[in-house]
């Protein structure tokens, strides 16, 4: 799985419906062309979900963010959010019951 798939599946709990479309069962909606590194609105969906999962979010300027004690930077805020979320998801820091 790539970074986007890991975030979509492990953090957001989405299912891949088609190669270009995810399904959010919780909201009952389809998400097309999910690109959180390039689309701030998509990245903010990650922030919203992480906060629901109990993580605190903090932005330091335009290029550095933190979820609890996991800091990440990027060329944009969206990239920083995506990188931090990926660090958490890829390191299995998200408890199994959240997945």
Helix, strand, coil share of the chain (percent; to 5): 40, 25, 35
Distance CA 4, CA 56 (A): 21
Q: What is the structure's pLDDT at 92?
A: 56
Q: What is the structure's pLDDT at 96?
A: 55
Q: What is the pLDDT of residues 26-72, one digit of tens each?
A: 999 999 999 999 999 999 999 999 999 999 999 998 899 999 999 99
Contacts of 35 (CB under 8 A, 6+ apart): 4, 42
Confidence of residue 94 (pLDDT cuts 50, 70, 90): low
Q: What is the structure's pLDDT at 97?
A: 55
- For 71, the token pair is 């800091």
Mean pLDDT of the chain: 91
Alpha-carbon radius of gyration of the chain: 13
Q: What is the structure's pLDDT at 72?
A: 97
């Amino acid at each position: 799985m790539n970074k986007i798939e890991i975030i979509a599946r492990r953090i957001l709990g989405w299912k891949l419906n088609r190669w270009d479309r995810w399904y959010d069962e919780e909201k009952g909606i389809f998400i097309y062309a999910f690109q959180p590194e390039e689309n701030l609105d998509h990245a903010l969906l990650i922030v919203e979900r992480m906060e629901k999962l109990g993580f605190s979010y903090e932005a330091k300027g335009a290029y550095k963010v933190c979820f609890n004690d996991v800091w990440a930077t990027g060329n944009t805020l969206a990239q920083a959010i995506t990188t931090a979320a990926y660090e958490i998801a890829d390191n299995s820091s998200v408890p199994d019951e959240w997945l």
